[in-house]
Structure 1
Amino acid sequence: MACTSSILHLLMMSGDRYLAICRPLVHRTLPRHIVYIALAVSWIVPCFINCMLNPILYYRCNTSVKQAVKQLMNKCHY
């Protein structure tokens, strides 16, 4: 989760720097709620990835490993 969060924070910072350099007048009038939304997104998305997708991927990997072990055990017994 920390890695994804860091990547999203860097993405948000690069977008902020882009606005500050290329459109300084827009950057000065950037509302605070946009900044808060960007920070929330940069933490909520990694939490979703970590909490929702990792167990699904782990289960799929774990079941394929279980099947491979069962097949190997069946071959060893015969």
Structure 2
Amino acid sequence: MTSAVDGPEVAPILDKRVRDWIANHTADDDHVSLSTTSSHDYLRYLELLDAWGSPLGRTRAQVELAIFELTRDRPVEV
């Protein structure tokens, strides 16, 4: 059982909304294109969350929640 929705034991969910945000916001860097049905891409997603969150002391779930908040009430560009 987990004690928080953003704790280190929480498994992030790679859904279309988060996948599209990542694709749109990494276009200028090393473009990241992820599939929601690939276990290899899910591992890449976890590594990306770690790379973005670790320097700031954030868990994977905290980074994912931040991405979700950035997409909330805003249409996702495709």
TM range (shorter): under 0.3
Structure whose residues are more often helix by fraction: 1
TM-score (norm 2): 0.28
TM-score (norm 1): 0.28
